[in-house]
Chain A
């Protein structure tokens, strides 16, 4: 199995993603520079967090128009799994692979803290090792994590069951109090229609080891290993 991490100028979770993939897949991911025109054939592409192009213009807007993203879109349309974390989610939505936008957090501040997420479905490559409707603890760290979509898009997401994670309390209850940033219907992550593209604001790659305070991020990568090997 081959994996790749896309590196944009000022990506800053590229190494974290690299380590997470190395430790779960047991092989080195290919680090792909944004200026590269071709994309190596891989089974999983990770678009890491960070401040690609300094978040200038809009978070993710400039990265979405970089040459490598045309390749990512092509691969995604062929069914290759794509995981966008934080800035990666912003880039995927700007690139049109995922609907909706990430607006500035409702409190207008950067927020870094652990949050609870309810796993909405566990029949995808990304969530195979989670229990449906369970609450997992994963950190967020962003300024623009406030998910918004128009009514039709939102209805479509719900109808097609494309919401991956919702902010919830420790008991798995999706409440206003558990919503850290004003996201519509507490949405923390969504899939595309084919379920091969996931964008999420929280950082599963940051909680992979007990020494760092939690392991709830690990099943996502471990699950991908199993599904992609099958």
Chain B
């Protein structure tokens, strides 16, 4: 792999570059690139690094608000939470590597997103993950679940960052392409946020962290193509993580960041040394000279090509102020990490790489980074499903509490305790709301404030109607935060889609972005960071469109925070929002008619009532009238009731005045949006109902808490312990086989 290799059409194709792109390279270079230069172009222009298919549409998303300090474009988004504190967060996918090598793929995904956050000066305080696996019958699913969960735990637990929330679903559409989306939230001081732009001619460029090896070469390119029969052969492109080194790197960086020595800093993620150096230089309008002999190397005889394309983990690149090298090195020596001055900033606008005394590459920086290609891919608008669904057959005729038991034991709704008990969700001793509720909550260290976080998406809605699905993902994240009493502030998006060169896939992407944008505006919930993962296809079959939204919000006083658990007997259960019994795309429908392939319309998302209902619920929580609160989402109303009862170990007697002309099951399990369940003390319910009426919010009493069963007037009862057995039983039993 040296520069004597002749550049042939075959080699160009192997680098994932098409003929037009190569012609552009010739134009930029004014000559034929050598092998190292071609490799650099290939990773910088990969979909993964350049966002060439998605940029045009991402630009349309709302990204600003008075509290947004830094929107998309940096390593992560930054928002102001008051008192001189900032929250820095982002979600990122590690889908392709996690399918090939689940433990390491997931572990390095977590490691990578944490670096994105602490490279900006924030100490990570919470991790979340959104996981989507194939059908539970698929032979690889168990192996993938076990490996991914253990990889996420292995990395996050060692780092000492609590993994507090997330989601996990199963669908045959992910059989060949699982989704592993990891989110990290960090806490920084607003006056100590670090950006990646390089500046100051002559300033030293410093490499810190782990040594560079031959792992992960072409990872970014691999993540930018579809899978096929030889996917297994791609195992060497997956990186290997070492959370111990990353923990040391975190502490060393935190120590260095407390001084005044850093000009710019960026982690080496996808495309490693190449993307970090190009992006830093490009943002600052600088040139760079790198001496590759100075790069700490794990293996002998590495070529320039290998060093520039390696995706070895736990590395950072930074530009220091003049004459700071000695003092900075002392910190990294203490943490026993490599520290090497690998180059200097220049004013040439060029990247010049030297290795063993020779210039091995000389590339203009801007065309590779900021000015990388941008495509307006052809797209066709997805025809939104309009068919209204009715559920018929055996399940429809069952009593609602029987359906409830069956639904609680389905893979999508069963308890995910098996997963989150493998994550340390309490380290840092600030976890206020543990996994299993709506949004998780961690206390902002040293204050009384709470930071709520959640991740949400309903891919089956997005498939049936991308615009409604995009809206719903944002609205549900906003709702989950609201249900804790916190004010939603901003979100991050992780766009997981199929091959963007297919117009119908691009149509899904465009539709979801449209819906997301509308919801973000209506809910004052801007998108401040994100990640795009395309080519999630195997042998031509794409995943469901999956735009995952990771949201954060803040509550000023954690003692006011609401949780889902019923707190006491004789509390009044109230549903907020319109219950219409929409069963299209519901989990009830999936259970009742698994073989029905009709694409029914998903529930409509009315952003105005989302806003009104949510603001009302939050107000009531903060006023102290609400004793428990839960958002109603997948599985519908009765599932949410059961979750509240199981969490509090207190039953409830339901006596709902549901619309008699519909089936009670539709009413109980429909997935109408903009709804919440809440409880109040016995003396507060009338006042709350009146307040709802004045606010134009639909509110209805459902029943009274107490006892050890859930009963429905004239429809029987079920013991909480039986429900718990259904809910908790499925996943351990499934994984034990």
Contact = CB atoms under 8 A, between A and B. Distances in A.
Interface of A: 9-10, 12-13, 15-16, 19-20, 35, 49-51, 53-56, 109-113, 139, 141, 143, 203, 205-206, 208, 211-213
A128 B228 CA distance: 65
B591 interface: no
Given A53-B244, A212-B432, A109 B422 contact: yes
Interface string B320-354: 00000000000000111000000000000000000
A212 B429 contact: yes
B376 to A, nearest CB: 47
25 contacts: A9-B244, A10-B158, A10-B247, A12-B159, A12-B247, A13-B427, A15-B428, A15-B429, A51-B157, A53-B244, A54-B243, A54-B245, A55-B244, A56-B244, A110-B153, A110-B424, A112-B420, A112-B421, A141-B424, A141-B426, A143-B157, A206-B426, A211-B558, A212-B431, A213-B432
Contacts of A16: 427-429
A19 B446 CA distance: 10
Contacts of A49: 427
**Of A12, A35, A53, A111, most B-chain CB atoms within 10 Å:** A12
B244 A51 contact: yes
Nearest to A15: B428
Contacts of A143: 157
A109 B150 contact: yes
Given A141-B426, A203-B426, 11 more contacts: A9-B248, A12-B158, A51-B247, A55-B244, A110-B150, A110-B422, A113-B421, A141-B424, A205-B429, A212-B432, A213-B431
Interface in B216-256: 242-245, 247-248
B422 A111 contact: yes
Nearest to A10: B247
B426 A139 contact: yes
Contact of B427 (A12, A20, A56, A212): A12
A25 B420 CA distance: 33
B426 A9 contact: no
Given A12-B158, A16-B429, A51-B158, A111 B244 contact: no
B390 interface: no
Contacts of B421: 109, 111-113
B443 interface: yes
B693 interface: no
Interface in B390-433: 420-432
Contacts of A213: 431-432, 434
Contacts of B334: 35
Interface residues of B, number: 33
**Of B243, B420, B421, most A-chain CB atoms within 10 Å:** B421
Contacts of B432: 211-213
B559 interface: yes
Given A16-B429, A212-B430, A212-B431, A54 B158 contact: yes
Contacts of B422: 109-112
A141 B429 contact: no
Nearest to A113: B421
Interface in B483-531: none
Contacts of A13: 160, 427, 429
Given A51-B158, A51-B243, A113-B421, A9 B335 contact: yes
Contacts of B245: 54
A46 to B, nearest CB: 14
Contacts of B335: 9
B497 to A, nearest CB: 33
Contacts of B157: 51, 110, 141, 143
Interface in B367-395: none
A20 B428 CA distance: 11
A102 B513 CA distance: 51
A112 B159 CA distance: 15
Contacts of A55: 158, 244
**Of A13, A50, A212, most B-chain CB atoms within 10 Å:** A212
A61 B430 CA distance: 29
**Of B159, B248, B334, B429, most A-chain CB atoms within 10 Å:** B429
Contacts of A113: 421
A135 to B, nearest CB: 17
A112 B244 CA distance: 20
B664 to A, nearest CB: 36
Contacts of A19: 429
Nearest to A17: B429
Given A51-B243, A212-B432, A213-B434, A9 B336 contact: yes
A173 B58 CA distance: 58
A55 B427 CA distance: 17
Interface in B417-468: 420-432, 434, 443
A50 B427 CA distance: 9
Nearest to A208: B429
Contacts of A20: 429
B73 to A, nearest CB: 31
Interchain residue pairs A-B with the least CB separation, the first 6: A12-B160, A54-B244, A16-B429, A51-B158, A141-B424, A10-B247
Given A9-B248, A12-B158, A112 B429 contact: no
Contacts of B160: 10, 12-13, 50-51
A111 B425 CA distance: 10
Contact of A112 (B247, B424, B559): B424
Interface string B616-632: 00000000000000000
Nearest to A49: B427
Nearest to A52: B244
B556 to A, nearest CB: 14
B733 to A, nearest CB: 14
B423 A112 contact: yes
Contacts of A56: 244
A206 B430 CA distance: 8
A109 B151 CA distance: 11
A201 B160 CA distance: 16
Given A16-B429, A51-B158, A109-B150, A211 B424 contact: no
Contacts of A212: 429-432, 443
A212 B157 CA distance: 19
A189 to B, nearest CB: 18
B375 to A, nearest CB: 43
Contacts of B428: 15-16
A56 B242 CA distance: 11
Contacts of B431: 212-213
B326 to A, nearest CB: 20
Contacts of B247: 9-10, 12, 51, 54
B243 A141 contact: no
Nearest to B732: A107
A26 to B, nearest CB: 17
A53 B244 CA distance: 7
A179 B726 CA distance: 23
Nearest to A213: B434
Nearest to A108: B150
A49 B559 CA distance: 28
Contact of A54 (B242, B423, B427, B559): B242
A9 B242 CA distance: 13
B559 A211 contact: yes
Contacts of B420: 112
A212 to B, nearest CB: 6
Contact of B425 (A10, A50, A51, A112): A112
Contacts of B558: 211
Interface in B138-192: 150, 153-154, 157-160
Nearest to A53: B244
A211 to B, nearest CB: 5
A127 B321 CA distance: 53
Contacts of A141: 157, 424, 426-427
A54 B336 CA distance: 13
Nearest to A50: B160
B247 to A, nearest CB: 4
